[in-house]
Amino acid sequence: MVETFGGLTGLQWALLGAAVAVGWLNAALRVSPAPPLGQVVSAADTPAEVVGTVAEEPEPVPSSGRGRSLRFPLSVSAVRAPPEGPFRPVADTVFVRYWTGPVPPPAHAESWRLRGRLTLRPREAGRGGQLALLAADWRTARCLRRAPPMLRWSNALRADTLRRLTRGIGDRPEAVEILKSLLLGYRGHMPRELHHAFAHTGTLHIFAISGMHVGVFVGILVAALSVCGVERRYWVLWLAPMLLIYTLLTGAQPSATRAAIMVTLYWLAPLLHRQPDVYSALALAAILILAAAPDQLHDAGLIMSFTVVLGLLLLFPVLIRPWQAAFMPDPWQLEPDPVWRRWLRHAGLLFGNLVAVSTAAWLVSVPLTAVFFRTMAPIGLVGNLLAVPLAWLIIVTGAASLLAGSLVTALGALLNQVNAMLALILVRVMSALAAVPGGHIPVEPPPPWWIVVFYGMLSVWCLKFGVDTSRGRRL
């Protein structure tokens, strides 16, 4: 019998590794990312004109003496400073304060040319680069490309969903910000102190619309399809379009796109009379995303997303197996367990699953967190044990609020109150953990050889302890 690890033979792993190495080298040689704004703009505070795409739905800010204004992140592709000079390519994000006028303001996914005062300032300690801010108004703004009709429709649906999820809790801005980020993927509007609390506890990843969010959404759809008697192999015909809408609704983040593609490919296999395979789905999702946007190969979010998912798939079975063995019923006992003992065993297994998932995610993400965020969070093990179940409850309650609120408005508002309470508990717990001395440690990015050694040791550990002795094959 050919031994396998993670469902793949040694030859298949070698071919997969060679394909990844060749693809990475090819992309590194062919893709030359444009420089950030700090390398192009010489002065830290100067008039400038930028061209870019609105990366998030603009949010109104408190009125000032100049009138109504919006704020939003802009993914900048070109800049000229001063505005009379030539445009130069850049790749950066500018946070815009935009004063509106009698013309339609910017909207999500639209391309705009904005002129104003560009300010560059250092980021917080431990984070490299500079923070770019632009103050602009409608007089010199020009829309270069409107959003496609599908995106305009999804933006309107997203705004309507936000109104439903925050109905009755407008007086709790802290909870509203958490729900906006966690349920709908609104990024860039979370207050700095909240952002720091989750970053310092290693739990910022819960705000990336990913497998947990898609899993809840798919679970609801699968339950509905089962009740309606739809044959399993045809589920993908319903899941695929609904996942597309959900991905657009949450801002089409790389993690959400990856999860949606993986689920679609996984459930496509029965329709094609093939066995579903999660590793093939993950690999094909990466190929499709990079085929559409090769520069994503250098994106921290995509690298973190795929690495953590692959780590969970490989490490979780190794970590959970001893726990499962400890909670298995005694095969030699004659009398069945009483009800209380069965419930206790189920609770222990559930807690073990949570510990295994949190530990696997933390282990795999340690080097990448040090590289991209220049920090290490030992408190993250405890933080994830508390944040993940709370986030799951908030997602489930949010889904219930949307379903119930569409039938009875008062019931949806009541569930929103419950969600606001859960969000505030999440904030208080993470803020307390972030204040623990030594819970997070600023570090310098490790050298490449250290990362290779770290992941090599993890691989050896999986190979050594990932052997199922009862069946004589690797997990």
Q: Tell me: the pLDDT tens digits for 74-113?
A: 989 899 888 788 888 888 888 999 999 888 899 888 999 9
**Torsion, Cα of 316, 321, 322, 323 (10° steps):** 80
- 403-439 tens-digit pLDDT: 888 888 888 899 999 999 999 999 999 989 988 888 8
Phi, psi of 330 (to 5 degrees): -70, 115
- 264-274 tens-digit pLDDT: 888 888 888 88
Contact residues for 314 (Cβ-Cβ < 8 A; gap 6+) = 6, 462, 466
Contact residues for 267 (Cβ-Cβ < 8 A; gap 6+) = 235, 236, 239, 276
pLDDT of 347 higher than 50: yes
Based on its alpha-carbon atoms, the radius of gyration of the chain, rounded to whole angstroms, reads 24
Residue extents of the structural domains in the chain: 37-147, 184-328+340-474
Name which of 117, 115, 112, 110 is nearest 133 in CA terms: 117
What is the value of pTM for the model shown? 0.75
- 26-79 tens-digit pLDDT: 555 555 567 888 788 877 788 889 999 998 888 888 766 667 888 888 989 899
Topology (CATH level 3) of domain 37-147? OB fold (Dihydrolipoamide Acetyltransferase, E2P) (2.40.50)
Q: What is the predicted pLDDT for the residue at 124?
A: 57
Matching residue, tokens 């603009």? 58
Tokens matching residue 386: 């508390």
* Per-residue confidence band for 188, with pLDDT thresholds at 50, 70 and 90: low
Measured distance CA(402)–CA(410) in Å, rounded: 12
